[in-house]
Structure 1
């Protein structure tokens, strides 16, 4: 089976390409640095020729509200049109747990727009909603930093390792289209401010973490369960504490 992975040279995409290859599939990494650009359409007809499945794990280079919306609308429209022309029979996209609940965030509004385009395309699809990756904890801290203070809402979070995300995306891609959502999360839940406090301590980062119920998370105010998956989510195997201990 030929599977084209849009964003196939990034953190998740490179792991997906490797996992599919290990199982005998022809996995093609598609990204601007391989001559495929979903924003311009460059290289799409060529790379999609003979593909059964397309996995989109690409991300916007800018998180500014207007830019991120433009990226996901344009790139997704170009990709879906090219897939229709090529006869692709399964479109898989990686999105974020809680997208529909976090619409104060420009990034989440853009991801919601992406999902709506996929659902309306007529191409059989599967959307994988993942919680935040272990590897993004520093970015969460940085986004909430003012001077030496990190302000975070004391809400629950259930982060997941990138390997477990890639495994879930890969399994979904070679299965029958869900025409719906699959949620994936890590095995353990934490309180966000406490989790980041522990991450910074492990890195000898001197910033102070302050719990603030009204602290914004990439532009959105959070409720206790805003970042959590619902019942029936697929849980990854890697525990955050084990992963953090290996980071050195």
Structure 2
């Protein structure tokens, strides 16, 4: 009877070891985003806070699942366990189906994302001009964002800050002569508003996510093929 191909066996192990490392990376990055004050600050006072947190929580779960799947695949290949390989195949197939479904939903949502972003940021512009304690974290996050990306305000530039601009006129101070500046209340501030920068960052992030998802789908299909071939070979020994 045919034996188990060493090439398939160790290819399967290598694949799953890399898969396991990917799970660790996704889990680590997701946890970092979840606890990072910088990533949370901008949306903490907005209507998208719960949805953004839910998305990160989903990624944490995905990272943990991928780690488990990688472990099952590695052990199944080395120990030639049909049970582990079958569990790996079923789990990976479910992940692939969910991933394709999420990709379709994401593509549908992409056409509406600009409208959602516009509505959200326009609505939360008011937090920049308020003086309450509840808005301070949001204001601090936007101020740091302005310094890093050399933009000013969310929608209407420095005017979004209202009287808070008088309290801290360095909020949008234009220090980069290579960027377009404008005069506001006698101060040189960045002309570009942050809403366009945020849109660009989200668009780039969306493209990166699509690329990663496509790459993972190819790897997952290879994993399905390897696991089924190895499963059949073990059964025919």
TM category (shorter chain) comes to under 0.3
Could you tell me the TM-score, scaled by structure 1's length? Answer: 0.21
Larger radius of gyration: 2
Higher strand share: 1
Report which structure shows greater RCO (CA 8 Å, sep ≥6).
2
Q: Which has the higher helix share?
A: 2
